[in-house]
A and B are shown apart, each in its own frame.
Chain A
Amino acid sequence: MSEKKATRAVYGEMLVELAEKYPELIVLDADLSSATMTKGFAKAYPERFLDMGIAEANMIGVAAGLAACGKKPFANSFAMFTAGRAYEQIRNSVAYPGLNVKCIGSHGGLSVGEDGATHQCLEDLALMSAIPGMLVLNPCDGNEMRQAVLALIEYEGPAYMRLGRMAVENVTDSVEGYKFEIGKAAKLREGSDLTICATGLMVQRALSAAGLLEAQGISARVLDFHTIKPLDGEALLAAARETGCILTTEEHSINGGLGSAVAAFLGENCPVPVVRHGVNDEFGRSGKAELVLAAYGLTDEGIAMRAKDALKLKA
């Protein structure tokens, strides 16, 4: 097992790595460069780094102007402020005119930990997915983040990507045949009784939960939804037909994120039981990240328990 690393750390390294190849890459931040990990880029390429101060709305608008002139801006803050504070700027100044701005939300979800509810964004995937034409990414580990950034810089158009604060284990690098492709869920584990659709740091937990379930004689497929939008309908249809029920798990509100998208898609295309595991219409709270996740049931055991609820609904 490789050393644990936060996806934000890998993201920060990738910006530096890509700087020479992409002279149009401009990085913006809103006074959080140490936390969002854009500091490395700022140090290496100060002339291409814009610290816009604690003013996210303007940061997004400036990024829109840069994109309109052919630059490739990556605008960074915490998920709460990128997707939340600057929601309307992203909608109207970036997405409506289809500008090539990459909106990055670090510190998504409960794993922000000690800072508590005001900084634990549980709605970013919902907000960003609601905007027409937005690409919405939420990579689960360093390996996946690396490939996501490579894909994102080549992608032309408005996009949002969530980064995590907490160090996480690399899991995708050891999966045979793993390939990152925007809009395609990665099958990390085969299974026949149910499918667990996971995103972000719940992917590692879903894999562990699948192990727990296996010990109880339950075979769980695990799909890694690094792309929330566009949703991989093909993988979902196969999962529904082949395993007959679905559990979604995300470090996000169960409303509007992966779970909602999966339930809506399958309800319309191949109705099977869908159980949504995530944060239940609540705010977060302060605490050590791992303890906060546990308090909300976002654990291996929590997933396994809800998996059994899903199985019970299976005809």
Chain B
Amino acid sequence: MTTRQLELIAARGRRLGMEMVFRAASGHIGGSLSAMDILTELYFEELRVDTAAPRAAGRDRFIMSKGHCTPALYSILALRGFFPEEQLALFRSIEGHMSGHPDMVNVPGVDMSTGSLGQGLSAAVGMAIAGKFDGADYRVYALMGDGEIEEGQIWEAAMSAAKYKLDNLCGIVDVNGLQIDGKTADVMPSEPLDKKFEAFGWKVIKADGHDFESLRAALAEAKAEKGRPSVILAKTVKGKGVSFMENDAGWHGKAPNAEQYEQAMAELNAAVAKLEVE
């Protein structure tokens, strides 16, 4: 796919995510917008998945460890064809099973139920170990938040991934610098992330989380690494694509009101329209 095509998918994903959160009057839009390009690159370029056989044994696995970002995950899964876009209308609704956090039982394409922060990487380690046991060639990807990695379990998992030399595992950190209470640097400083992961035995790769070529190169580098897991530290902007939401922790888990929604959609529609013309 061309970069332009990927940008268009991500722009549509942002629009779908915004609609989901507005319709549900709840949900996590800020981190979903920061992760949208990463998810687009993964599902439209990187992951070996088959929408007709979402549980195929040999598929690549993706775990949304920052599970609150379902507006991004579900949008991309719908755009990729795992289920019809109309199903997104049931996000967080009692009428359906599109739960607020990823549900592997009810939502096609979801590989692991997550939402309680810090738990996804461990499951990814288990899947990667299972792949090694079976001599399977699938890869496992886990997307974490830079706030999420304050959870100690992430570092337990990081140690174990290095112990078992899981070069079939690729962690990605959505480094948007913000969490609910404010800047990660103020709430609980987690930097320097590169040195931390390196010290835990991981290959560290830095990328621009909104640049598809940068992400693609990082993923290729991770795939080429042998004998240890890789982590991509993807620098992103929380709220990316909506001017008044960018870099504002207040938009972590808040739905826009009607006026804000209209403004946000105007910006997101303009982005889609521009890419469609091009």
The answer to whether B156 and A55 touch across the interface, beta carbons within 8 angstroms, is yes
The answer to whether A55 and B112 touch across the interface, beta carbons within 8 angstroms, is no
Residues in A neighbouring B125, C-beta threshold 8 A? 58, 61-62, 65
The answer to whether A58 and B113 touch across the interface, beta carbons within 8 angstroms, is no
B116 CB, min distance to chain A CBs, angstroms: 4
The yes or no answer to B131 lying at the interface (CB within 8 A) is yes
Q: How far is the CA of A48 from the CA of B127 in the complex (A)?
A: 14
A side interface size, CB within 8 A: 29
The yes or no answer to A267 lying at the interface (CB within 8 A) is no
The answer to whether A89 and B127 touch across the interface, beta carbons within 8 angstroms, is no
The yes or no answer to A178 lying at the interface (CB within 8 A) is no
Given known contacts A68-B104, A97-B105, is B157 in contact with A58 (CB within 8 Å)? Answer: yes
The answer to whether B116 and A62 touch across the interface, beta carbons within 8 angstroms, is no
Closest to B121 in A: A61
**Complex interface residues of chain B between 193 and 234 (CB less than 8 A to chain A):** none
The yes or no answer to B122 lying at the interface (CB within 8 A) is yes
Interface flags for B99-121 (1: CB within 8 Å of A; 0: not) read: 00001110000011111101111
The answer to whether B122 and A92 touch across the interface, beta carbons within 8 angstroms, is no
Residues in B neighbouring A61, C-beta threshold 8 A? 119-123, 125-126, 153, 157
The yes or no answer to A53 lying at the interface (CB within 8 A) is yes
A156 CB, min distance to chain B CBs, angstroms: 14
Q: A62: which of B123, B131, B152 is its contact (CB, 8 Å)?
A: B123
Q: B122: which of A60, A70, A71 is its contact (CB, 8 Å)?
A: A60
Residues in B neighbouring A104, C-beta threshold 8 A? none
Residues in B neighbouring A92, C-beta threshold 8 A? 113, 115-116, 119
- Show 10 residue pairs from A and B whose CB-CB distance is below 8 angstroms, ordered by the A residue: A50-B164, A53-B163, A57-B122, A62-B125, A64-B122, A65-B122, A69-B130, A69-B134, A89-B119, A93-B114
Chain B residues within CB distance 8 Å of chain A: 57, 103-105, 111-116, 118-131, 133-134, 152-153, 156-157, 159-160, 163-164
Chain A residues within CB distance 8 Å of chain B: 26, 47-48, 50, 52-53, 55, 57-58, 60-71, 73, 88-89, 92-93, 96-98
Extra 18 A-B pairs, beta carbons < 8 Å, given A48-B133, A61-B123, A62-B125 = A52-B160, A53-B160, A57-B156, A58-B125, A61-B126, A62-B157, A62-B160, A65-B124, A65-B126, A65-B127, A65-B129, A66-B130, A69-B127, A69-B130, A69-B131, A73-B126, A89-B153, A97-B105
Task: Please list the 8 inter-chain residue pairs (A to B) with the smallest Cβ-Cβ separation, ordered nearest first.
Answer: A65-B126, A61-B122, A69-B130, A58-B156, A55-B156, A65-B123, A62-B126, A97-B113
